[in-house]
Amino acid sequence: MQEKNLQTIFQAQKAFFYSDATKSYGFRIKQLKKFKKVIKENGKSLCDSVYQDFQKPVEETYISEIAMIIRELNHSINNLKKWMRKKKVATNLTNFLGKSYLFPHPLGKNLIIGAWNFPYSTVFTPLIACIAAGNTAIIKPSEIAPHSSNAIKGLIKDNFSREYITVIEGGVEVSSSLLALPFDHVFFTGSTQVGKIVMEACAKHLSRVTLELGGKSPAIVDKDADIKKAAKKIVFGKGSNSGQNCIAPDYVYAHEKIQDSLLEALKDAYHQLYPSEKHIASIVNEKNFQRLNTILNQEKIYFQLPHKREDKFIPPTIIYPANWEKPAMKEEIFGPILPVLTFSRIDEVIKTINQREIPLALYYFGKMNWPSIEKGIQFGGGTVNDTLLHFANPNLPFGGVGSSGTGCYHGYSGFKTFSHFKSIFRKGKWPDFSFRYPPHDGKKMKWIRKLF
Ligand code: NAD
């Protein structure tokens, strides 16, 4: 029954797309403006739903999700006309007296699968790009944040027609049924493990795919860094969403000359930024709570904030000295645990990181070794002397490489992700060189050889 329903919605979206209704500038801009109004009107209740799911402070949800979505909408509204224009490109000599251009065309029918940790951003930010590029969409939010998923469903149902944008709620089974449909593009945010399943499903229909995945993102603190500032920014980056953030600094690599002062500064920063537990989100479910406690039980706890709460709450914790052979360094932590490793030479750091899965983000504090790191380590994107902020600039495409993802979005890069740029050569009336037509006898070939 479910499959039949999904087929019906899919076919309705297909018909709507081929009616050309979604393609004009007028339609797209109207939907983006409407979406902005709806997000602004519902901002508070959206934040309340996340609070119900994992006690994330409503102010934090506003800053990290609602404000980011409004920023993305403003950027798209302001630039849409420019993005939709045909882009002239140079014409080569042999095609001369013709015009060459790229025509951005929507991909068509899209599936957007979201993660629970930023339940709105992981579906609404790609949706903004999807609308801007003139597509239809089915959204599958994460079942792990059920109140937020339900809020997404209500918001879309009340404001967009089913054949244009629809939300289908559910877990793995629903996700798998959706992935069996021949979408033109699948935009997935989630774990690397599930990303592989999604890519395999897309291969069956040769659907285009964007994978926004995770990984272990390092924060490297060099001996010439401003230690106090570095500590505050690392704690800010790790504290966001209680570390349940794909671009959170997963661990710290501290130069041996500054490691002691950094550890002290990290403790101070934790006390300063999180004076009580009310500023800290809980762990989303029992499974992750147990997973994180298992890590903690096997590691040396160097520092932990004294806060307590009855629900699935883990106070921010520093593990030191951390070690690549221990559990905290074996997988993405995705929680409020910060392992600190020490290094003496930057080439060791580069070699060690390059031997492992490619990080989604990288943070560097200092100056002297940045050129070697920028050139020497593969990673999705990063911020120097701060954390998370590269994510907030819509002019910087956001995405990973290899195990941390494929493809990107935000701003124009999102528009490009949901568009196909048709390459068009428009021939002028003349000249029409006869040497290109067969039969290619000796004289014509002489010309051709001369030309190339
Ligand atoms: P997840 O991979 O468990 O789930 C993501 C989505 O996939 C959910 O909607 C879920 O229902 C669906 N899903 C789960 N198993 C599936 C299966 N077998 N087949 C089809 N669909 C399936 O991830 P999560 O726990 O929601 O999120 C945490 C992960 O997401 C972390 O690794 C984090 O780094 C990553 N993440 C990445 C970004 C990014 O922008 N790169 C953003 C947020 C989260």
- For ligand 1, whether the C-beta of 331 sits within 6 Å is no
Confidence of residue 1 (pLDDT cuts 50, 70, 90): very low
CA distance 214 to 151: 25
243 CA → ligand 1 middle, Å = 15
- For ligand 1, whether the C-beta of 171 sits within 6 Å is yes
Q: What is the pLDDT of residue 160?
A: 98
Same domain, 235 and 126: no
- Region of 334 (left: φ > 0; alpha: ψ -120 to 50; beta: rest) is left
Is 130 a catalytic site residue? no
For the cut 90, the answer to whether the pLDDT of residue 59 exceeds it is: yes
- Residue whose CA is closest, atom 10 of ligand 1? 142
Same domain, 207 and 309: no
- For ligand 1, whether the C-beta of 140 sits within 6 Å is yes
Q: What is the pLDDT of residue 81?
A: 98
- Catalytic pick from 60, 246, 299, 332? 246
For the cut 90, the answer to whether the pLDDT of residue 86 exceeds it is: yes
Average pLDDT of the chain is 97
Q: What is the pLDDT of residue 435?
A: 84
| CATH of residue 317 | 3.40.309.10
Same domain, 118 and 186: yes
Same domain, 126 and 174: yes
Assess if residue 429 is contained within a domain.
no
Assess if residue 452 is contained within a domain.
no
Please choose, from the candidates 281, 311, 317, 280, the residue with its C-alpha nearest in 3D space to the C-alpha of residue 298.
317
192 CA → ligand 1 middle, Å = 8
Same domain, 379 and 407: no
Assess if residue 434 is contained within a domain.
no
Same domain, 77 and 193: yes
- Catalytic pick from 60, 65, 212, 332? 212
- For ligand 1, whether the C-beta of 212 sits within 6 Å is yes
Question: pLDDT tens-digit profile of 29-56?
Answer: 999 999 999 999 999 999 999 999 999 9
For the cut 80, the answer to whether the pLDDT of residue 242 exceeds it is: yes
Assess if residue 347 is contained within a domain.
yes
Task: Annotate 322-347 with b (16+ C-beta within 10 A) or e (fewer).
Answer: beeeebbbeebbbbbbbbbbbbeebe
Question: pLDDT tens-digit profile of 403-424?
Answer: 999 999 999 999 999 999 999 9
Q: What are phi and psi of 135, to 5 degrees?
A: -105, 175
What are 425's strand-pairing partners?
A: 100
Is 212 a catalytic site residue? yes
Q: What is the mean pLDDT of residues 250-261?
A: 98
360 CA → ligand 1 middle, Å = 14
> What percentage of residues in the chain have a pLDDT greater than 70?
100
195 CA → ligand 1 middle, Å = 8
Assess if residue 432 is contained within a domain.
no
Q: What is the pLDDT of residue 442?
A: 86
For the cut 80, the answer to whether the pLDDT of residue 2 exceeds it is: no
Assess if residue 337 is contained within a domain.
yes
Same domain, 20 and 101: yes
335, two tokens: 């929680």
- For ligand 1, whether the C-beta of 187 sits within 6 Å is no
Q: Domain of 294? A: 218-392
- For ligand 1, whether the C-beta of 116 sits within 6 Å is yes
- Residue whose CA is closest, atom 31 of ligand 1? 191
Q: What is the pLDDT of residue 3?
A: 81
146 CA → ligand 1 middle, Å = 14
Assess if residue 199 is contained within a domain.
yes
For the cut 90, the answer to whether the pLDDT of residue 203 exceeds it is: yes
Confidence of residue 151 (pLDDT cuts 50, 70, 90): very high
For the cut 50, the answer to whether the pLDDT of residue 129 exceeds it is: yes
Same domain, 358 and 272: yes
Ligand 1 atom index nearest CA of 170: 11
Q: What are phi and psi of 2, to 5 degrees?
A: -55, -45
Q: What is the pLDDT of residue 348?
A: 97
Q: Using alpha carbons only, what angle is made at residue 63 by residues 62 and 67, rounded to the nearest 5 degrees?
A: 80
320 CA → ligand 1 middle, Å = 29
Assess if residue 285 is contained within a domain.
yes
Q: What is the pLDDT of residue 208?
A: 98
Please provide the DSSP assignment of 94-162 as one string: GG-SEEEEEEEEE--EEEEE--SSSTTHHHHHHHHHHHHTT-EEEEE--TTSHHHHHHHHHHHHHHS-T
- For ligand 1, whether the C-beta of 197 sits within 6 Å is yes
- For ligand 1, whether the C-beta of 191 sits within 6 Å is yes
Mean pLDDT lowest for which of 118-127, 323-332, 430-439? 430-439
Same domain, 25 and 106: yes
| CATH of residue 79 | 3.40.605.10
CA distance 345 to 110: 47
Same domain, 272 and 295: yes
Mean pLDDT lowest for which of 111-115, 187-191, 260-264, 427-431? 427-431
Same domain, 179 and 282: no
Ligand 1 atom index nearest CA of 118: 43
Same domain, 228 and 110: no
Q: How many domains does the chain have?
A: 2
Question: pLDDT tens-digit profile of 373-387?
Answer: 999 999 999 999 999
CA distance 257 to 227: 11
> What percentage of residues in the chain have a pLDDT greater than 90?
93
